Amino acid sequence: MTDTYLHREADAVAPKAVPFWARQDGVAVIVGAYMVLHAVIATVFEIAVNADDAIESYLVQSLELSYVPRNPPFFDWLLWGLQQVVGTDRLSFALLRYTLLFACAMLVYRIARRVIAEPRLQALATFSLSAIWVIGYHSHRILTHSNVMIVAIAGAFLTVVALARKPSAGLYAGLGAWIAVGILGKFGFVAFLGVLAIGCLIEPTYRRVLLDRRILVTLLVAAVPLGIYGWALWHYGQNVAQATAQTIGATGAGWDAVLASVVGALAGYVLPLAALMALVFLPYNRGEGALPDDGERGAARRVLRTVIVLGIVITLATTFAVGTTNLRDRYFHVFLLLLPVYLFAELERLGGWRPRVGLYLGVLAAMAVGVMAVRVAVPLWPDPRLCGRCVAAEPLYKMQFGVSAKLGTSPTLVADDRFSAGRLRAAIPGARVVVWYEDQYRPPSRPTTGCARITGIANGLPRLLLPPADKNTIEMAVKWWSPAMNPHRWSDWQMTVLSPDDPLCR
């Protein structure tokens, strides 16, 4: 018998039969171009940092072992280091965000090459990350620590696959490094690690990875940085359990409300990916060109299936047990990040996909262009009906001249909250920004050229909501940069000059 699986696999990956977009260099170019275009939008069109970026902007005014108990510090360490080179404005956030997303996509592509035989499906699985709405849309607007976690999830899974294929002490050490990065990136990585371990124990090929004595190298490599971080939590008196409970929010909700929360979050994560693949590849599919299961690829696919299914079951069970409705779609990163790889691996076994590749690619491209168009439209037309608070369109940079003229080049600014403080720091180079109330983090003192309290950084609050002005208060009414909008939108700010000896300024 000459038409064996190996022969058909060799035909499938013959270089002349593979289009550029499905080759390794083509995937890297396309993913890289996608990230560069979004980075350009973030630094050229959007003129202020978004909400989650603002919080991190406030926190990274110094390098600390731990900042707040809710999130571990690895993202902040990266951002702090980057800002020492490129400054505190939007560029630092764009560089970090799209470097992380590019790294995640290319790691997912490497996983796809180990799980899927056909190069076209490997590429489609990678490109399909953009059809996961949390990645294709929300990652450009809000996510920070989660972007570190998804890189670690992809890196850890790829390393486990490599260990199952050819174990070595170096790979075990690499797995320990990924575990450290994942947990120091976001605590949700622990849940991924748990279901991954169960998936490996169930699959005989992967069971050997965990039972190999060299797993002690993994534990040792991970234990050193995690031990230092654990000491920092103890030293600063930061309670991670208490912070987690605050994140979960109210408990004891009814089963119907909890179920609605789980279904909504799950649907928010898998759509439009699952719907798009079902609509394009399933109708009238006769299974042409289906490939039978392969031992090595099949084992990796089954581990992926266990991670996905078990993760959903555990999420459902724990959410019902706690009775919380505060479940967000982005929380499913932990279990469903590699869903595109699994779905395209199953599609390869199903067959019938070849005539429909062009349609699927076209829809993916249209979705990507649509998201970019929306991002560009927000600063051009920041109407509340389009973007609500329109955080990225508020022209905070227009405050620079007034602040520097009154307070010098190294001012201390007092803000209403972390959000306002972080946005001010990103918009005004050289500023040290504090909040007026006692907070878990306060940037260290430094020599200052002046101090003032800035009020009203909340997207055009009416004047009636601002505090009464005194003799040291400067009123600032600023028009938004919105060439396509009539009437224009305005922000009203107040700058109240304070003495550098004022307790708020110290």
Domain residue spans in the chain? 5-45+89-373, 391-505
Q: How is residue 297 written in tokens? A: 């690829």
Q: What is the pLDDT of residue 7?
A: 39
Q: If DSSP codes are grouped into helix, strand and coil, which group holds residue 101?
A: helix
Calpha distance 114→116 (Å, rounded): 6
pLDDT at position 387 is: 85
In the prediction, which pLDDT does 464 show? 42
What pLDDT shows up at residue 466? 61
The pLDDT of residue 9: 41
Looking at residue 252, its pLDDT comes to 77
Cα–Cα distance, 278 to 272 (Å, whole number): 10
Residue among 226, 348, 363, 355 at smallest CA distance from 291: 348
Supply φ then ψ for residue 441, to 5 degrees.
-125, 140
Joined tokens for residue 289: 């060109």
Extract the tokens encoding 402: 């007034």
- Three-class SS of residue 470? coil
Q: Determine the pLDDT at residue 465.
A: 52
Can you tell me the distance from the alpha carbon of 55 to that of 52, in angstroms, rounded to the nearest whole number?
Answer: 5
Q: Cα–Cα distance between 498 and 240 in angstroms, integer? A: 36
pLDDT along the chain (506 residues), means of 10: 38 67 98 98 94 95 95 97 96 98 98 97 98 94 94 98 97 98 97 98 96 98 98 94 79 86 94 96 94 90 98 94 90 97 97 97 97 93 85 91 92 93 94 92 93 78 57 84 80 89 89
> Which pair of tokens denotes residue 371?
């998201």
